[in-house]
Structure 1
């Protein structure tokens, strides 16, 4: 039972830590950050199982993490109002070819990062972008400008 309680505590600590890191960090990690996450995984394992290296202890820890992951998934499914708090919300970062600096600052993103993602999406100029939206998973969705007017909400906060 001790392993289940420690695994539950570590799940919530890890969940809060990842939410605090923000969308940008999850979507674009450097090699060093990947290594840090691997080391964190080992430290979490030591904190959960302590000196219990048994198959039962490992199974209990894994099942506890999976259980809480499923609970959060069901909570967002059954109570859509919780989705924003648990998973985050998309945020408009470019509107009609102009960067929304306040929204970039909220997610600690730079113009260079947005331009890099634009190039990966095959977009050469910022003026070619009608909308760019930072998704909760850390990816950026681009909507190209066309000759007509784009009908989208005109807010600079979260989308949705």
Structure 2
């Protein structure tokens, strides 16, 4: 009372006073929420790629991104409470989006995308490859792993929403996204 406090400014708003724990914790929740949706949008823009399909640079970029997100979310709060709150906020929004996808096919299509045909009747669909930034060499590599040496041996290849590719052979045999990892094949 009667004392003038210096004005302290954050990025675009005042910083919570040292005794104002509730505001500081709510700030973490708001920052974590913002970062969750920024990260979600960024990963959607990056496209459907499996971890095994990433270049070493893309993998390192994702690892560094984690540290940058932590700095942006918790700011100067290095407490266990702050870290827990940030993690719980990310988990909360992940569960909310998962339930929304489960309950609504329209939301699922919006959030998860749709499978895309990349080979039809032995013909590579260049426009669909371009949309997902896939090269012919990447598709041929996945085909060989699935046991198809030539494109003409594939009746259909479908890029699934999880980034894996399902192949249906010209002879009608199918190698699904989960089957390729089965050592018995």
TM-score (norm 1): 0.88
Q: Does 1:38 align with 2:63?
A: yes
- Structure-2 residue corresponding to 1:158: none
Q: Determine the structure 1 residue equivalent to 2:104.
A: 79
- Structure number with the bigger relative contact order (C-alpha 8 A, sep ≥ 6) is 1
The alpha carbon displacement at 1:136 in A equals 1.2
2:161 paired with 1:130 = no
- Structure 1 unpaired stretches of 5+: 148-160
Residues 35, 69 of structure 2: 8 Å contact kept: yes
8 Å Cα contact 1:26/1:137 also seen in 2? no
**In 1, Cα distance between equivalents of 2:114 and 2:163:** 10
Give how far 1:25 is off: 6.8
Q: For 1:137, what is the secondary structure of its paired residue? A: coil
Query: 1:1-160 residue pairs with structure 2 within 5 A?
Result: 1-24=26-49, 28-146=53-171
CA radius of gyration, larger in: 2
Alpha-carbon contact 2:50-2:164 (below 8 Å) kept = no
On the 8 A contact 2:50/2:162 being kept in 1, the answer is no
Shift of 1:24: 3.4
Matches of 2:63 and 2:78 in 1, distance apart? 19
Please state how far the C-alpha of 1:26 moved relative to its aligned partner: 5.8
Q: Deviation above 3 Å: which 4+ runs of structure 1?
A: 24-27
How far apart are the structure 1 equivalents of 2:60 and 2:128? 29
| Count of equivalent residues | 148
CA distance in 2, matches of 1:144, 1:58: 49
Alignment check: 8 A CA contact 1:28 1:138 kept: no
User: CA 1:115–1:146 in structure 2 vs 1: closer, same or farther (change >3 Å)?
Assistant: same
What is the Cα deviation at residue 139 of structure 1? 1.0
**Residue aligned with 1:23, SS:** coil
CA RMSD of aligned residues (A): 1.5
Q: Secondary structure at the match of 2:101?
A: helix
Tell me the distance in 1 between the aligned counterparts of 2:41 and 2:170. 37
Quote the Cα distance in structure 1 between the aligned partners of 2:80 and 2:88: 12
